[in-house]
Amino acid sequence: MTYSEENYLKVIYHLSLVSPKGINTNAIAGMIESKASSVTDMVKKLAEKELVHYQRYQGVTLTQKGLHAAKMIVRKHRLWEVFLVEKLDFTWDEVHDLAEELEHIKSEKLINRLDEYLGFPKEDPHGDPIPDRYGQMIKVDKQLLSEVLPSNKVICLGVKDSSPNFLKYLDKYQIALGSEIEVVSKEPFDQSLGILINERQILISYKIASNLYVKLV
């Protein structure tokens, strides 16, 4: 596959987690930032390679071959993120764009050696599961912090938004993977949350809370 084909396949995979019955080409165009006509052309190429099923007006779905290929791209991306954070001391808000470039390295042997070198990590620095060499990955029961009721304690498991600005915001308030958070209050008007973290109480917006994955303690 070309770099472009791999990028399309990864986008279709991520969208399929939300819409498993079929992905609209306009949704793909929005993620890729491309014209719908260009997306249709690329989807047809992927269909010719038996990586996706595509019927006009019925959306795009991954074939088993396409699903495995997409998971291997995601595997490479997330392993490189772990390497960059743990071994090269990059921060979690710096690694996404670098991993976007590294994920296109073709050598399966290299990626398997990288996995072994890192101790077979199960999650990347943002809390997302890493597929193993067979495409299997752990499933964790989680919910958004915005859904948690007051008087509950939770552990931060990951982020829904991995943009640098959001991650820098979390760093500012020392919210990280593994942080214990107690929901103290919820404002009826705007659903903002009063939380207790690191022995201090802060107020976070609904938008922030709806981008944090947690599990109840």
Residues in the chain: 217
Which pLDDT band holds residue 37 (cuts at 50, 70, 90)? confident
What are the residue boundaries of the structural domains of the chain, listed by start?
A: 3-62, 143-216
Tell me 1's DSSP state: -
In a 3-state reduction of DSSP, which class is residue 153?
strand
* pLDDT at site 202: 95
Question: Quick one: average pLDDT of 171-192?
Answer: 95
CATH architecture designation of domain 143-216: Roll (2.30)
Query: pLDDT digits over 101-147, tens only?
Result: 999 999 999 999 999 999 999 999 999 999 999 999 998 889 999 99
CA distance between the termini of the chain: 44
The answer to whether 130 and 122 have CB atoms below 8 angstroms apart is: yes
* pLDDT at site 111: 98
| Nearby residues of 43 by Cβ (< 8 Å), 6 or more positions away | 8, 25, 28, 52, 54, 60
Q: Answer whether residue 36 shows pLDDT above 90.
A: no
| Residue whose tokens read 């107690």 | 182
The CATH class of 3-62 is mainly alpha
Residues 80, 83, 89, 92, CA torsion sign: positive
Tell me 146's DSSP state: G
Q: What is the mean pLDDT of the chain?
A: 94
Question: Quick one: average pLDDT of 183-193?
Answer: 96
Structure-token pair, residue 26: 């306009």
Question: Quick one: average pLDDT of 41-64?
Answer: 92
Q: Answer whether residue 57 shows pLDDT above 80.
A: no
Q: What angle do CA 167, 204, 94 make, to 5 degrees?
A: 5
The answer to whether 7 and 32 have CB atoms below 8 angstroms apart is: yes
Q: Answer whether residue 19 shows pLDDT above 90.
A: no
* pLDDT at site 200: 92
